[in-house]
Amino acid sequence: MDKEIKTPKVGFTLWFTGLSGAGKSTIANILEKNFRESGLKIEILDGDIVRTHLSKGLGFSKEDRDTNIRRIGYVASLLSRNGVITITAAISPYRVIRDEVRNMHDNFVEIYAKCPLEIVEKRDVKGLYKKARSGEIPQFTGISDPYEEPLNPELTVETDKEKPEDSANKILTWLKENKYINA
């Protein structure tokens, strides 16, 4: 990873979206380590962790999912407008809510962690897809609830074809080329 990153001109949000198991958190953690080693202010808002604290008590109905994503988006916008690089790693399955969150931000970078359903099901370390297929988990994104792929993300990383480090480097390169961070 490139250790020559300097302070960003402004804060920004890297908004990862993709199916459960697509690699969002893995890539986010690689980026976080790189940014921290470069002395940058960074915060990760991971979907699972946010649900434990900020969105405790919400279920998985469409309304509750939308509320959860709006909360994550609001916190991310507060952090980024105060000069913090904010990375979100939440499924955020619905386009309209992702677009609503985009509109809360001055500097928003949508990153689609693209991975076919059959691959994320094979990676399923938590056993969630198996439970969803058996009916134990209702309204599970990609199985019984839709996932709406982004139409125009700033970046797409194909996590079934790229190593996580390669995806992270692709993102860093894009950020440099688009002047979010200095080379």
For 131, the 3-state DSSP assignment is helix
Cβ-Cβ contacts under 8 Å for 140 (sequence gap 6 or more): 60, 128, 129, 131, 132
Please identify every residue annotated as catalytic.
92
The distance from CA 59 to its chain's CA centroid, rounded to whole angstroms, is 20
Rg (CA), the chain: 16
Q: How many CB atoms lie within 10 A of CB 39?
A: 10
Looking from the CA of 11 toward its CB, the CA atoms found within 13 Å total 18
- Residue with tokens 């980026």, as numbered in its chain: 31
